[in-house]
Amino acid sequence: MPDRPLTIAGYAAGASLAAITLVYVFGPTFFLDDEYAHAAAAAGRKKGVVVGLSNPANDCFINSVLQALAGLSDLRFYLIREVHRRKLDGPETYRVDADEPPLRRSNGKEVPPWKIEGLRQGIVTVALKDMLDRLNERPLYKKIISAQPFVSVLERAFRQRISRQQQDAQEFLQVVTERLCDEYHEGRKARERIRRLRRAGYSLDLPSIDVGEDGGSEVMPMPPLPQSGGGQDGEPQRDDGEGEEEEEGFPFEGKTESQIECTLCHFTPKALSETFTTLPLTVPQKSSTSLNECFDVMLKTEYIDDFKCEKCRLVHAVEVKERELRLARSETQKEKLDVEISKIYDAIETDPEKPPKDVELPDIKLAPKRRIARHHRISVFPKILAVHLSRSIYSTYSTKNMAKVSFPEALPLGGLLDQKKYRLLGVVTHKGGHNSGHYESFRRQVPLAPFSTPHSFGNQGVYSTSVSPNPSTQPQQQQQQQHPPPLPSDLAARVTVPRGIMPSSPASSASSVSSRSSARQQRLGPAPTSAPRDDASAPAAANGASSSSSSSARVSLAPPAGPRPGSRASARAPSVVDVARLKKKAAAAARKAGNRWWRISDEKVQQSKTSEVLGMQKEVYLLFYELDKRAMGEDE
């Protein structure tokens, strides 16, 4: 009896030690797994969500822009195409030759050769593609990467550091998109230069490296470009030659057009066109507004007073010349004034912006002042519309406009005849004041097109070879020959086998299968194929099938009238109600999939809904709209 309490105490001490050991060993792993399980359940996935970005030095403005760009399928299409195109063309197409004339910008400054070479090679394009590919991974577990590789390439492209003091997401987006646009245009000019050299008769298939007399290697200079007329602003003029493919431009690039009109003479000079990659919209200073009102502020008609109209100035010059003509006394002076008046009239009728050079006009200070109306419009709509909501208020102290801006999920732009419909795919928000705060991004959970094949390719598809317009039914015959259907007992007694043909011979079974296959082909129509089917081949195939079935009817077993129970032919055809129900289910599934968003704050990723995204009216800063392929009749 005295030993029993000691035994119980020993068991209790051992159990306590075992419990402490379990907690010490498995406690941290359990809590980590439990924390991750809760995060994964909140994200709506069993394991993992999307890749996050680390924030070592106030890089939230960089991370939010990169996450928003990762959800744009048209941008990823463009990056894949440009990188692949440069690999196919080779480095010799985009190199800078020593005898090549220097490139000058509109302000007259010469662009250094190292920058031209970087633009032609597309170093930022390649780096952004690699970055977005990594962000579009679907890891099994939580994964965080750094944006420093892309930032390093961007700093090397401009040879300067990116300041972390301003921390403006719009400025970073502007730098990236303008650089990508410049790289596209420089690459296009280089390809156009090679095409013009080939059309001029130069052989560009020779190797660019030749061995000199001393045994070393030297680079052979590319022959100079033949002199030809150029386009506007120094752009090379494109020839409409055969065999040239029209390139798809940079998806962020659009154009706005500004047109002025005199309210008195209604003269409209040449419109001024301006290229943009991000569209800035000023937010009105009120408690709440909408995105449509912000567009109205930019696109509304603006009236300007005290403007010197070119046509009104010429009309005033005619009046002055006619008054001088009435006062003139010598014939020589009268003839001179008559000639000048006729030249001014010709300029008024043809182009008032080009007055005659040999006619002395009155001083522009004496020209009448008119009121003009200035109209703005978007002349070229980009594939991806990046909208910047400018919330800065500049006065004695710079402050932030905290107005609520409601924005739609579907954005129609343009006129009634050429209306464009955009779909919201990304949002960048900012919380805080004008000098401090934090950026977050929202990405729509859409299946990106580079990772899906929504339709089969035909003869013109990618990596496809020429196929026959009519598919072969030989695999179906072999499958039916290996598993022949059993013969009903009531037909076995009535079967008569012709003389000289064995029932189990391969010829009879093959012909029987061929007749059934051809008859089934006639009832169900031609089998689906990825290649475009020739219309003329359909009747021939039907006639061939009927002739083969009639010739083999004497040696094959005649099938019973009507389909067998349980066969595919006996299945009930879908009715109109069934088709409507299926369409309704598909539409509901599409709406449910389109309602899912990712809310990303650096390395923290959560699941969100469209209602939550549209509710960020006070924090919205950047909007990313993409042309709705569903409205254009295309598959996503």
What residues are annotated to the active site? 60, 438
Write the DSSP assignment of 104-139 as a string of letters: B-TTSPBPPHHHHHHHHHTHHHHHHHHHHHHHT---
Instruction: Look up residue 437 and give its two tokens.
Output: 């705060």
Q: Is 191 in a helix, a strand, or coil?
A: helix
Q: Contact 416/610 with Cβ under 8 angstroms?
A: no
Among the listed residues 605, 626, 625, 623, the one whose alpha carbon sits nearest the alpha carbon of residue 170? 623
Q: CB 448: neighbour CB atoms within 10 A? A: 15
Task: Give me the sign of the Cα torsion angle 303, 308, 309, 315.
Answer: positive
* 377 φ, ψ (degrees, to nearest 5): -155, 160
Q: Contact 621/429 with Cβ under 8 angstroms?
A: yes
Q: Are strands 52-53 and 144-145 parallel, antiparallel or unpaired?
A: parallel
Q: Is 257 in a helix, a strand, or coil?
A: strand
3-state secondary structure 164-178: CCCCCHHHHHHHHHH
Q: What's the first-to-final CA gap in the chain, in angstroms?
A: 82
- How far, in Å, CA of 181 to CA of 277, rounded? 8
Instruction: Look up residue 467 and give its two tokens.
Output: 């196929």
* 553 φ, ψ (degrees, to nearest 5): -70, -25
Residues 6+ apart with CB under 8 A from 148: none
Among the listed residues 75, 97, 7, 55, the one whose alpha carbon sits nearest the alpha carbon of residue 604? 55
Q: Are strands 272-276 and 410-413 parallel, antiparallel or unpaired?
A: unpaired
Q: Is 437 left (phi over 0), alpha (psi -120 to 50) or beta?
A: left
* 74 φ, ψ (degrees, to nearest 5): -65, -35
Task: Give me the sign of the Cα torsion angle 156, 185, 191, 114.
Answer: negative
- Give Rg (Cα) of the chain: 37
Instruction: Look up residue 92 and give its two tokens.
Output: 């010799």
Q: Contact 404/616 with Cβ under 8 angstroms?
A: no
Residues in the chain: 636
How far is residue 232 from each of residues 52, 75, 229, 311, measured CA to CA in Å?
Answer: 45, 28, 10, 25
- How far, in Å, CA of 173 to CA of 75, rounded? 13
Q: Contact 354/595 with Cβ under 8 angstroms?
A: no
3-state secondary structure 352-378: CCCCCCCCCCCCHHHCCCEEEEEEEEE
